[in-house]
Amino acid sequence: MAISLPLNDFPELSLDASRLPQHVAIVMDGNGRWARRRGLARNEGHRRGKDSVRAVVEAARELGIPYLTLFAFSAENWERPSMEVDFLMRLFHRYLLTETKRLMKRGIRILALGDTERLPPRLRQVLAETVAATRFNSDMTVALALSYGGRQDVVTAMRKIAQRVASGELTPEQIDACVIGQSLTTGGLPDPDLLIRTSGELRVSNFFLYQLAYTELYFTDTLWPDFRERELLSALAAYQMRDRRYGNISPG
Ligand code: IPE
Ligand code: IPE
Ligand code: MG
């Protein structure tokens, strides 16, 4: 069944509405290179990247994709020059302030993943307010991975599990893939069906590690500030060509 959308501006990219991914995760990379190629400061790339976030969130919502995770800032990105880190923190702050109304209108719930304790207090507060304000929205969930590291996520989960074992609530034998998955910051979200990474880098960069076990990977040279509806549709069309076997054999 072909889908019809505002995105039917792109008729060549028709999708099967019954086979859309439930959860798309995106490593939004390439803002700095986008700016450099234009002789602009890196921050201009980040600023433009914010427009891609709006475009992709709203396109995914129109398509009916229930979960979208955006990797916006990694645990390692704190090592960047403080000018850039400060700019990004202010950009996230502004994004939350300006987008809440649009998110509410579209029934989008915001979640925060990662070590949000490290974020500046003002941003933390706005983030908490956005999460609270949108918590009953049920048309789509957008998870923002901020100060997120895949290994840190696993470490935190292991500590939680160890505490439950130490307190006698759980026996070592009861620890299974489900207990571990639920103890991660993504507990409650389905594993991503599709991971998109922009900018041509072919690596995971400490994003979801445990969660990617059977995720389809899609890499594109497009830089994040240029990634809009059309690029999302192309990624989804590529996803729909994949044969997900999960270690089994194809039927027929
Ligand atoms: C992605 O773009 C944004 C963040 C990691 C915060 P980059 O800033 O990594 O851009 P490049 O990879 O240097 O081009
Ligand atoms: C990954 O991009 C993190 C985000 C997009 C938020 P990086 O630009 O930090 O990754 P590396 O340094 O190229 O691996
Ligand atoms: Mg990068």
- Kindly state if the Cβ of 26 falls inside 6 Å of ligand 1: no
Q: What is the predicted pLDDT for the residue at 204? A: 98
State the residue for tokens 């490290």: 118
Q: pLDDT band at 205, cuts 50/70/90?
A: very high
Nearest Cα to Cα of residue 61 among 134, 150, 130: 134
d(CA 70, CA 53): 8
Neighbouring residues of the ion ligand 3, judged by CB less than 5 Å:
29
Average pLDDT value for residue range 207-229: 98
- Measured by CA distance, the residue closest to atom 8 of ligand 2 is 29
Q: How much is the average pLDDT of 66-75?
A: 98
What percent of the chain has a predicted confidence (pLDDT) above 70?
A: 96
Of 211, 215, 178, which Cα lies nearest the Cα of 195?
215
Taking phi over 0 as left and psi of -120 to 50 as alpha, with beta for the rest, 26 belongs to beta
State how far the Cα of 240 lies from the Cα of 234, in Å rounded to an integer.
10
Mutating to test ligand 2, I would choose from 74, 78, 209, 227 the residue with most ligand atoms within 8 A of its C-beta, which is 74
How big is the chain, counted in residues? 252
Q: Tell me: pLDDT of 44 over 60.
A: yes
Q: Is it the case that residue 93 has pLDDT exceeding 80?
A: yes
Residues 6+ apart with CB under 8 A from 2: 14, 15, 16, 17
**Assigned architecture for domain 2-9+23-150+192-238:** 3-Layer(aba) Sandwich (3.40)
pLDDT of residue 250: 87
* SS3 assignment, position 102: helix
Which residue, among 237, 239, 240, 219, has the nearest Cα to 12 in the 3D structure?
A: 237
Q: What is the mean pLDDT of the chain?
A: 96
Give the pLDDT score at 101. 97
Determine what percent of the chain is predicted with pLDDT higher than 90.
93
Residue 1, pLDDT > 90, answer no
**Does residue 247 carry a pLDDT above 90?**
yes
End-to-end Cα spacing for the chain: 21
Ramachandran bin of 168, using left for φ above 0, alpha for ψ from -120 to 50, beta for the remaining angles: left
- Both tokens of 239, joined, read 């996803």
What per-residue confidence (pLDDT) applies to 7? 59
**What pLDDT score does 9 carry?**
72
104 close to 138: Cβ distance less than 8 angstroms: no
Could you list the active site residues?
Answer: 29, 77
Rounded CA-CA distance 196/223 in Å is 12
3-state helix, strand, coil in the chain (%, to 5): 50, 15, 35
Q: What are the extents of the domains in the chain?
A: 2-9+23-150+192-238
The pLDDT of 191-202, averaged and rounded, is 98
Does position 130 have pLDDT exceeding 60, yes or no? Answer: yes
Pairing state between β 23-27 and 108-113: unpaired
Taking the centre of ligand 2 as the mean of its atom positions, its distance from the CA of residue 56, in whole angstroms, is 19
